Structure 1
Amino acid sequence: MSQKDWTADPFQTARSSAIHLEMRDIYGVAGEAERFALWQKTGRRNSERDAAARAGWMTTVRNMVSRGIAVRRARIVSEPVTEYIRYEHAGTAANLNAGELVRWLPRRRAADIALPGTDLWMFDDAAVEFTFFSGDGEVVEREWRTEPEVIDLVRAAFETVWDRAVPHEEYKIR
């Protein structure tokens, strides 16, 4: 049996699950710089601009969920949170509306969890895509791993984070 090529489009080929672990307090996403700057000025997200900019992702999530795939995102955050995390929190309702499940874990409650060294996606408990960032939060490289010990580490870390984390609807920004 040949091994599945996860690099093609895992969001289209996943069969049961997609989990995303985020551990940074700031991301340098060029495509959202203008929206983030506007949010910093006004304290509000522009729903029309957000909807247009995030339409592709929201469609992807809705399609995955309609295929029966559980899409879960856990964010480990420092408290008090950064302005970027406030911005993310303010826009998370759209993720929930698309069917994604999102939880937040204060970093102090994650201190005793053996965590991978960087953010990641894992699909179907079979393949992990690690994302490596520069110091200012820009993506510099991605790497796929499928070794059983890597899968086991990621699964255990994510499930521990998920169990301790607070559902988005209940998480209050500090």
Structure 2
Amino acid sequence: MELISSAERNLLFARYKHDAFHLELRDDYSVPGEETPFRNWLRGRDVDHSYLAPWTQLVRQCTARGMTIRRVRVITEPVTPYIQWEHALTSLNVEAGEDIRWLPRHLLPQTITLPFGGNDWWLFDDQLLAIGHFDSVGRVLGSQVVLAPDTVAACVALRNELWTAAIPHTDYKP
């Protein structure tokens, strides 16, 4: 299986035309650039959010072109400290133009089977999937690109079902 880097995956945003959707399924992410801000937040200190600038700039560029960027975060309740922190920061994503919803795991429709071993994925224009792969301690290894029409169609249907079931960010309180 060939994996592309996070930087290569982010280049896909320049190619898509209408919609990018991200399904997040982890309750904690080991992202090196977030370790210090997360620790500071846990200690009640001021947090420098500059590490988010590349992402929020990308979102602004895409939405300025009329594209949508949407995300559903499937989370376990009670939420982990990481999810509490992520929820507190989500307003920065929303201000940049991203539409984010939350779906407590216990509210997942029982008919749903999560594909790809429960890994996160991006769906671009209902045509291309970028499936995230992680190591045993949760660090991102890269993304697998999938173009198989049947697989993509199944993820489009799943996205639609989860989007409908999920709670808009402004309405979800962890």
Fold match, TM over 0.5?
A: yes
Match of residue 18 from structure 1: 20
Q: Where in structure 1 do 4 or more consecutive aligned residues deviate above 3 Å? A: none
Q: What is the DSSP-based 3-state SS (H/G/I as helix, E as strand, rest coil) of the residue aligned with 1:9?
A: helix
Number of residue-to-residue matches in the alignment: 164
Match of residue 171 from structure 2: 170
2:9/2:143 contact within 8 Å kept? no
Match of residue 67 from structure 1: 65
How many Å apart are 1:7 and its aligned residue?
A: 5.8
Cα pair distance change 1:82/1:135, threshold 3 Å: farther
Separation in 2, partners of 1:7, 1:74: 18
Q: What is the DSSP-based 3-state SS (H/G/I as helix, E as strand, rest coil) of the residue aligned with 2:113?
A: coil
Separation in 2, partners of 1:121, 1:107: 19
Separation in 2, partners of 1:13, 1:163: 26
Separation in 1, partners of 2:31, 2:10: 22
Separation in 2, partners of 1:158, 1:151: 10
Cα pair distance change 1:63/1:135, threshold 3 Å: same
Cα pair distance change 1:110/1:56, threshold 3 Å: same
Match of residue 113 from structure 2: 114
Q: What is the DSSP-based 3-state SS (H/G/I as helix, E as strand, rest coil) of the residue aligned with 2:53?
A: helix
How many Å apart are 1:149 and its aligned residue?
A: 1.1
Match of residue 133 from structure 2: 132
**What is the 5 A alignment of 1:72-91?**
72-91=70-89
Are 1:55 and 2:53 matched, yes or no?
Answer: yes
Letter in 2 for 1:114: T
Separation in 2, partners of 1:54, 1:7: 17
Separation in 2, partners of 1:169, 1:123: 25
C-alpha RMSD of the superposition: 1.6
Q: What is the DSSP-based 3-state SS (H/G/I as helix, E as strand, rest coil) of the residue aligned with 1:144?
A: strand
How many Å apart are 1:111 and its aligned residue?
A: 5.1
**Which of these residues, 19, 34, 38, is aligned with residue 40 of structure 2?**
38
Aligned identity (percent) is 38
Cα pair distance change 1:160/1:8, threshold 3 Å: closer
Structure 2 gap segments, 5+ residues each: 1-7
1:25/1:84 contact within 8 Å kept? yes
Letter in 2 for 1:35: P
When normalised by structure 1's length, the TM-score is 0.89
Q: What is the DSSP-based 3-state SS (H/G/I as helix, E as strand, rest coil) of the residue aligned with 1:162?
A: helix
